Chain A
Amino acid sequence: MATVLVDTKHVAMADLKGKVDPDWCPGCGDFGVLAAVQKALVDLQIPNHNVVTISGIGCSSNFPGYINTYGMHTLHGRALAIATGVKLANHELTVLVTGGDGDGFGIGGNHFVHSMRRNVDLLYIVMDNQIYGLTTGQTSPTSRMGMKTKSMPFGNIEAPVNPISLALAAGATFIARGFSGEQKQLTDLIKQGIQHKGFSFLDVFSPCVTYNHDNTYQWFRPRLKKLEDDPAHDPTDWMAAMRKSLLWGDEIPIGKFFERTDVPPLHGAEPVLNAGPLLHADTRIPPDVTHSFVEELM
């Protein structure tokens, strides 16, 4: 993501504290994601007024209220569509989109796919807890087969979506997976995602301590293997990333799966934005141009 540093004022953690404290359950994975995002913005020294944090609806979508940036807490599943509009109207803003797996892969699945193929320049962080939390525990698009929930009490008979494979297929240009229990790596992935010029997708395992008793911190820890620890992993190799994305079970990779930098972001591909953000564009179209619009019709 392109960032314009206009302020010389130092950005500190305290500047990014929201007006209210999170109402997440004690132990919720989302606390770790919030801390990592704040740390990343401090490390990158991005002033809070140049950041817009946009979410849909769900536990994790309450995120914008807990961080002191410009925020939008919008409709269930629609955050990416709204974020695309924000970015195209003012591409100097750093746009963060935050939400959950139900919001992003369920009700928002269409926008997820299309935002990636458009290569909208933003960082999309999904706090993936494999369950619907705010509606008190129903099956989500990433719930494993067989998982018992209030909506599927006899076990899930549908296969889950694989967000990393889907992102690769849809053309996202930065694809990573983090774990809210791995702060250092998570912060680093967020920083990379913000700095990447294009669609950055970061799927974060963010355990739900209240409703998901299958995918707990204890379940994840022994299984997670960092991609950066594998000397053979080449994040520019799409096919290798696709193969890695299919790993699930005893070994689940976390880290950066894939990045390519040769695709221009959406706002960079449209000459209308060459003169700068639309927000600052002149409202009036020059008279010779409007005259030509009418002449065409005569």
Chain B
Amino acid sequence: MKQTFTIGIGGAAGQGVATPGDIFAKIFSRRGLHLNAYNAYQSIIRGGHTFLTIRTGPERVSNMGDRVDLLIPLNQDAMNRHLGLLTDGAACIYNADTITPGVPAKGALLCPLPVSKLADISRNKVAQNTLAVGAGLSMMGIGFQSVEEVLTEQFKKKGDAVVSENVGIARAGYDYATAHFEPFPWPLPMTNNRYAVLSGNIAMAMGGAAAGVKFYCAYPMSPSTGVLHWMAAHARKAGIMVRQVEDEIGVVNMAIGAAHAGVRSMCATSGGGFALMTEGLGLSAMMETPVVVIDCQRAGPSTGVPTKTEQGDLWQILGAAFGDYPRVIAAPLDIGDCFKIIPEIFNIADRFQCPGIVLCDLLLSEGRLSVDPKDLDFAPVVDRGELITSVPSTSGSSGDGVYKRYKITESGISPRAVPGVPGYAHTAASDEHDEDGVLISDEFTNPTKRRNMMEKRMRKVTGIEAAVPPPVLSGSRDADITLIGWGSTKGVIEEACEILTEQGIPANHLQIRWLVPLHGDAILNILKDTRHTIIVENNYSGQFARYLRSETSYVPNGYIRKYDGEPFMPHHIVEAVKEQLGGKSRLSVPAHEILV
């Protein structure tokens, strides 16, 4: 099993959970360590309870893991909720002036800090946080110099006095811990690697910039708002027009307008906003104007649990907009993939002149992952498809009288002229139309023309299927268990497979990235050689299992589902697999033990 170290910081919103989290993350990534961070929080600006877990290690870390090594409760509530998570070898650093500890498990260490003796708490309200950071880093065996460096950076905007005050407090915590607490048995290693730490939202926004997105608009909605924030902050440097719009109906239509005028155009929302956008997706399909829409899923239905994760929008996405039309739907597999998937889906949407939907979720959107900067390619292949932005110099003639926007072709793709090109004026319509754009419904309803246009558009599906790679099995073909997942669960399923295999239950893994087209035949071909298959997903009804069955008639041996708003932890899957192998159940719904 890989060696990792996890810190859990709990407190009320507004108590400053984020800052120690940022400091730890920076120190880890600068030591060349990988990290994964997940913040369980509530839709409240002050109060409530938030619990941030940061897991780090020299190898890739893809999920929050099963264990907390260091707990930092910032209030009594956090102590009461989480002390029970600690097992042998773990420690809890807390403010002994204000927090009464419970009884820890055997081998777990209590590390009380006499906060008022170590810092002037009348001057610095978050002194306990900084003391705990210093103490924790001492116990992890990290030299104080790197602590000082990161604190200096963190507070430099506030002036030298604030920097030296915080460095002083951290030093006091650091020295106190060195003198009084047992260090962790596994000092954090160092590597020569350097990583960027980013959220899925930042990754998708940067992926858009890399793809050549020139227009981005949105209405704020958790957990998608981070995309808007990155875009807005970097718009002028990146040359992107970013607008905040009155509602998501306006968002998708504004994005389609910009796309129609010839630029790559993107928007992001969550399930509720996506519901408002669906009529617009049909417009994109009918006018054959490519647009990319991101849905960052949160727990539904309705307003649901705005700050919690779920994979519950699949059927909404599959059924979005009435009528049949070609589309692509992709679910990024991790935060790094959030970046890569955007240029890929734009190329397909542009080539096939159809909407592209990215189905992300809160876990990736707001989680943090260390990513090798080499994997952030800002010069990916950009294929705009058959786009006419000026009079072709080779033809020597304009399109006057001959250009047909919706020309019937074998591929179903018709060259797309954007407004402003002389000789190519045409009308693009949401009504059914003929090759030249004239509305069929207004000329006279014509079944032959309608059929021809329907078939022209739908022929693009064949091309899309060829352009999108089928999924592949990871791990040994010879396994007792095959776990099937889609999108954001890749990391946790991967780790569950490693644990199962180590425990003598060889497991492999099929993760679906492209939901449409699904490549059902390729999936069946993979699954025919498996012994026991279980579909793992973060929703109640097994939305992907039902989709796979509807496309392929495939029925797995079992299901693992979770719909409590929190992500899977590896042991949830491992234990459920064992339960199902024991024949106890075909459906497991693991309980989330962390009280958040």
Which residues of B line the A interface, CB within 8 A?
29-30, 194-198, 202, 206, 209-210, 212, 214-215, 217, 234-241, 243, 245-247, 249-250, 253-265, 279-280, 283, 287, 373, 376, 378-379, 382, 389, 418-431, 436-439, 442-443
Contact = CB atoms under 8 A, between A and B. Distances in A.
Given A272-B241, A285-B378, 6 more contacts: A73-B428, A85-B265, A284-B212, A284-B378, A294-B196, A297-B202
B442 A89 contact: no
Interface string A279-297: 1011111010110111001
A217 B585 CA distance: 76
Contacts of B428: 71-73
Interface in A172-209: none
Given A272-B239, A290-B378, A294-B376, A65 B261 contact: no
A283 B238 CA distance: 10
Contacts of B373: 294, 298
A74 B283 contact: yes
A84 to B, nearest CB: 5
B427 A72 contact: yes
A278 B241 contact: yes
A93 B420 contact: yes
Nearest to B423: A49
A298 B439 CA distance: 54
Most buried by B among A52, A74, A90, A93: A74
Nearest to A88: B241
A279 B384 CA distance: 12
A89 B257 contact: yes
A70 B241 contact: no
B438 A19 contact: yes
A161 to B, nearest CB: 17
A50 B420 contact: yes
A85 B198 contact: no
Nearest to A117: B246
B240 A20 contact: no
The 7 closest A-B pairs by CB, nearest first: A85-B257, A71-B427, A283-B212, A89-B261, A85-B258, A82-B257, A81-B253
A7 interface: yes
Nearest to B279: A75
A113 B247 CA distance: 12
A75 B280 contact: yes
A283 B384 CA distance: 10
A47 B258 CA distance: 21
Contacts of B241: 88-89, 270, 272-273, 278
Contacts of A114: 245-246, 250
A49 B425 contact: yes
Given A93-B261, A278-B215, A271 B209 contact: no
A78 interface: yes
Interface of A: 7, 19-20, 23, 47-50, 52, 54, 57, 62, 64-65, 68-75, 78, 81-90, 92-93, 110-111, 113-114, 270-273, 275, 278-279, 281-285, 287, 289-290, 292-294, 297-298
A294 B375 CA distance: 11
B209 A64 contact: no
A163 B438 CA distance: 32
Given A49-B423, A110-B250, A272-B236, A82 B429 contact: no
Given A78-B253, A290-B209, A298 B429 contact: no
A177 to B, nearest CB: 25
A57 B430 contact: yes
B344 to A, nearest CB: 15
Contacts of B389: 279
Contact of B215 (A82, A88, A275, A290): A88
B284 to A, nearest CB: 11
Contacts of B280: 75, 78
A72 B254 contact: no
A294 B209 CA distance: 12
Given A279-B261, A284-B212, A287-B378, A85 B235 contact: no
Contacts of B234: 293
Nearest to B206: A293
B220 to A, nearest CB: 15
B399 to A, nearest CB: 10
B238 A289 contact: yes
A149 to B, nearest CB: 24
A93 B428 CA distance: 16
A294 B198 CA distance: 9
A48 B196 contact: no
21 contacts: A19-B437, A20-B439, A54-B257, A65-B438, A78-B283, A81-B249, A81-B254, A84-B243, A85-B265, A88-B254, A89-B214, A93-B420, A110-B246, A270-B241, A272-B235, A279-B263, A279-B389, A281-B239, A282-B239, A285-B209, A287-B379
Contacts of B30: 298
A38 B214 CA distance: 32
B283 A49 contact: no
B419 A86 contact: yes
Contact of A293 (B209, B243, B253, B421): B209
Contacts of A74: 253, 283, 287, 430
Given A75-B279, A114-B246, A65 B439 contact: yes
A114 B419 CA distance: 24
Given A74-B430, A82-B253, A292 B237 contact: yes
